[in-house]
């Protein structure tokens, strides 16, 4: 029992993972850039910086996985 064709499902998975992962990484790059000049000793700033770095890593994993899924890598 399926909702859509295999090709469409594959495309949706790619968009939801690779698209969102890429946008997520860009979003966190922008936000980490905004933190330049902020007080690194402030615990909140330190947590934000670490979170955005992890967000970029996770986003890139999503993009790489999507490329592998589509046989590009």
Q: Got the DSSP string for 12-70?
A: HHHIIIIIHHHHHHHHHHHHHHHTTTS-TTSHHHHHHHHHHHHHHHHHHHHHHHHHHHT
Residue 16 Cβ, how far from other proteins at the closest point, in Å?
Answer: 8
Binding flag, residue 26, other proteins (CB under 8 A): no
Measured in whole angstroms, the distance separating CA 41 from the mean position of its chain's CA atoms is 27
Binding flag, residue 33, other proteins (CB under 8 A): no
Binding flag, residue 1, other proteins (CB under 8 A): yes
Binding flag, residue 50, other proteins (CB under 8 A): yes
Residue 11 Cβ, how far from other proteins at the closest point, in Å?
Answer: 12
């Amino acid at each position: 029992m399926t909702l859509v064709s295999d090709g469409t499902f594959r495309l949706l998975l790619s968009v939801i993972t690779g698209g969102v992962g890429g946008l997520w990484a860009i979003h966190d790059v922008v936000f980490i850039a905004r933190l330049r000049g902020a007080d690194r000793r402030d615990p909140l700033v330190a947590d934000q910086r670490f979170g955005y770095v992890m967000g970029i890593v996770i986003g890139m994993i999503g993009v790489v996985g999507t490329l592998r899924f589509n046989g590009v890598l």
